A and B are shown apart, each in its own frame.
Chain A
Amino acid sequence: MKKIRSFFKFLGKIEALPVVAVLLIMIATFMITAPDVFLKYRIYMSILQTVTPPLILGLGLTFVITAGEIDLSFPAIVALSGFVFAWGYQNLDQDLGRAWATWASFGLALGAGAFAGFINGVLIAKVGVPSIMATLAAQFFWYGATIEMAGGRTWRLKGIQEDQVWEVFVRRIYGIIPQQGRAPIGVPTQALWALGLTIFLWFILNRHKFGESIMFIGDNANVARVMGVNVVATKIRLFTMMGIIAAFAGLILTLQVGVSYPTQGEGMLLLVMAAVFIGGTSIAGGYGSIIGTFFGAFIIISLEPGIVATKVSGYWVQLIEGLVLGASVTLHVIIGEHNIAAFSDRIRRWSTPVRLVQPASEKDSVHLP
């Protein structure tokens, strides 16, 4: 019994275990209901490509929500960065030459994202505008600005496939997995970038001063302030980081399709938020799970192809998405770290009546001299 108990305790300590379980169950279900799609590798390659932009956005949003704030403006920054890149790609190459122009546009686009994020940060942290209002306004503003600057049309990136930037970020890598069929599909490079970014940002959130400050600010900004965290500067940095991350996601999206729409990123907002909340990040702030967001994004993105491949009516897609979102958030509440310990206690005391609430009695807690 003791072994079982410690096993459950161990399970409770693994970050985002319920999310991984939900994803595995989901994929297993699709393998049964749509074996001719989900037992082949192609669908996974296409999921890897689709998941990258929302996943990257979700990683940034995890930080923002952990800090107890919200960002509604990132879809607009996705559009803005795509446009800035496309503009630079078409207009800078005469002065700089093709290769340099592309890299310079890439940097410009990231800079535009950083700028938009910085403005958000200053409005929220320095001026004191609630983040939901400031970023809502920013969303309208940057979409408007992008559509105006782009002249309302899509900008094509002719010949982008021959460029170094394209090679570095969105090339398909062949030969990693065994190829089947006539037209093989390689692993999308952007998925590797997303994976690398996930690992890097996990360390920033959980093992870096910046991440710790974010958690304390989300928990209680007053505590953070009196303990010496510079709340204003940290929040400005946070939103600037979110801007850069959103711009990066926008660049990946633009490179992927080879076109910049002034409305790209629309529809990402709720999708990305769902991924973050499925991942177990607390809407109240103070706790965020990068790993949870990682798998949450996969859950959200694999649902639609899974349901479509199962050949149930398309009307079911949203209903099932709602069910999965509800179920995983509920799971987080029930199978939290604490509750797994309580559950194992219950197993241990099979024969004795179950005490649901443990009183915080004196002898249970501390003994003072």
Chain B
Amino acid sequence: MSENTAALQMINIEKYFGLVHALRNINLEVGSNEIIGLIGDNGAGKSTLVKILTGVFPPTQGEFYIAGRKVNYKNYSVKRAHEYGIETVYQDKSLGEKQPLWRNFFIGRQVTYPLGFINVKKEKEIAREIMLNTIGFRGRGITVDSKVNKLSGGERQGVAIGRAMHFEAELIVLDEPTVALSLKEVRKVLNFVHKIKEAGKACVYISHDMQDVYEISDRFVIMDRGEIVASITKQDISLKALDEFLLGYAQGLKDKEHS
């Protein structure tokens, strides 16, 4: 395993919530500069998978490697995941609404003086730098002191993605970042994802919008009822064929149930 350069490798991951078998036998590999489109219906286990990956809760069984390093999930946590270089952007719970941008950039890993007091000047400086150079906010009206609730949906995701890139994430997980955004805002988010690819990082992108997923992903991983049912590279399939595959798959399941 050690010579492996994959950003992420999950082997035989299982997860139970009480009696519910949420994930079965998950094997997933993400290359070091690969963008994976994770597709699946509601309840397919995408979010559970992401939460295991990002340290929100541990798997029941199985092992996973991040950049070749084995993760000991007994003491794995969100903080640990950050140290391993995994950053997550959730659809709506990445930013504190009433807090200024600079606090949002550094929550959970503040730049501090001794005794845990925050170095506000330094944090604002870096935040300004991220906004200008990493995500390219050049507009009027938004400063590091702006509260998040004054930003549009796309801008919020931009801030979250910029934060992830600043902290040198090797793998950025985007959990339905475009839900409830207007087309224009979705476009902004997709541009941010292209920046991730340009920067040479890996990304797991979860969305229900096939068109978006198809545009940015290198490979599609399809999940259903806690299992990975297919993995298809972009060269092998067109958007239309992918759509048809998913529809056909769903139809097939229905037929199975009826028979």
Chain A interface residues (CB < 8 Å from chain B): 203, 207-210, 212-213, 215-216, 219-220, 222-229, 282, 286-287, 360, 362-369
- Interface positions, chain B 90-116, Cβ under 8 Å from A, are 90, 93-99, 103, 107-110, 112, 116
- A contacts with B: majority SS: helix
- A282 closest partner in B (C-beta): B98
Which of B77-85, B215-223, B247-255 is found at the contact surface with chain A?
B77-85
B93 and A220 form a contact (CB under 8 A): yes
Q: Whole-angstrom distance between the alpha carbons of A360 and B155 in the complex?
A: 12
Chain A residues with Cβ under 8 A from B82's Cβ?
A: 228
Q: Whole-angstrom distance between the alpha carbons of A222 and B91 in the complex?
A: 12
Instruction: Identify which of B90, B142, B150, B151 contacts A226 (C-beta below 8 A).
Output: B90
A229 and B107 form a contact (CB under 8 A): yes
A228 and B109 form a contact (CB under 8 A): yes
Q: Taking A207-B118, A208-B117, A215-B96 as contacts, is the C-beta distance between A365 and B107 under 8 angstroms?
A: no
Chain B residues with Cβ under 8 A from A215's Cβ?
A: 96, 98-99, 103
Instruction: Identify which of A210, A229, A365 contacts B151 (C-beta below 8 A).
Output: A365
Q: Whole-angstrom distance between the alpha carbons of A203 and B113 in the complex?
A: 13
B98 and A209 form a contact (CB under 8 A): no
Flag B123-155 by CB within 8 Å of A: 1 or 0 each. Answer: 000000000000011111110000000111001
A228 and B99 form a contact (CB under 8 A): no
Residue contacts A-B, CB under 8 angstroms, 13 given: A209-B110, A209-B112, A215-B103, A220-B93, A220-B97, A226-B54, A286-B98, A287-B98, A364-B141, A366-B142, A367-B137, A368-B158, A369-B136
Chain A residues with Cβ under 8 A from B140's Cβ?
A: 364-365
Chain B residues with Cβ under 8 A from A360's Cβ?
A: 150, 152
B88 and A223 form a contact (CB under 8 A): no
The 10 closest A-B pairs by CB, nearest first: A228-B108, A366-B139, A219-B96, A286-B98, A228-B78, A227-B108, A222-B93, A228-B79, A209-B116, A367-B139
A366 and B138 form a contact (CB under 8 A): yes
CB distance from A164 to the nearest CB of B (A): 29
B97 and A212 form a contact (CB under 8 A): no
Chain A residues with Cβ under 8 A from B155's Cβ?
A: 365-366
A367 and B138 form a contact (CB under 8 A): yes
Q: Whole-angstrom distance between the alpha carbons of A130 and B195 in the complex?
A: 43
CB distance from B256 to the nearest CB of A (A): 36
Instruction: Identify which of B95, B118, B151, B191 contacts A209 (C-beta below 8 A).
Output: B118
B188 within 8 A of A: yes
Chain B residues with Cβ under 8 A from A363's Cβ?
A: 139
CB distance from A85 to the nearest CB of B (A): 29
Q: Whole-angstrom distance between the alpha carbons of A52 and B150 in the complex?
A: 38
**How extensive is the interface on chain B, given as a class?**
35 or more
B90 and A207 form a contact (CB under 8 A): no
Q: Whole-angstrom distance between the alpha carbons of A367 and B77 in the complex?
A: 36
Q: Taking A207-B117, A219-B96, A286-B98 as contacts, is the C-beta distance between A226 and B110 under 8 angstroms?
A: no
Q: Taking A207-B118, A229-B107, A364-B141 as contacts, is the C-beta distance between A219 and B99 under 8 angstroms?
A: yes
Flag B208-237 by CB within 8 Å of A: 1 or 0 each. Answer: 000000000000000000000000000000
CB distance from A201 to the nearest CB of B (A): 13
Instruction: Identify which of A208, A212, A282, A287 contacts B107 (C-beta below 8 A).
Output: A212
Q: Taking A216-B99, A228-B108 as contacts, is the C-beta distance between A365 and B152 under 8 angstroms?
A: yes
CB distance from A332 to the nearest CB of B (A): 14
Chain B residues with Cβ under 8 A from A365's Cβ?
A: 139-142, 151-152, 155
Q: Whole-angstrom distance between the alpha carbons of A308 and B120 in the complex?
A: 46
B28 within 8 A of A: no
Chain B residues with Cβ under 8 A from A225's Cβ?
A: 56, 78
Chain A residues with Cβ under 8 A from B136's Cβ?
A: 368-369
Q: Whole-angstrom distance between the alpha carbons of A159 and B192 in the complex?
A: 72
Q: Whole-angstrom distance between the alpha carbons of A212 and B54 in the complex?
A: 22
B258 within 8 A of A: no
B152 and A216 form a contact (CB under 8 A): no
- A285 closest partner in B (C-beta): B98
- A227 closest partner in B (C-beta): B108
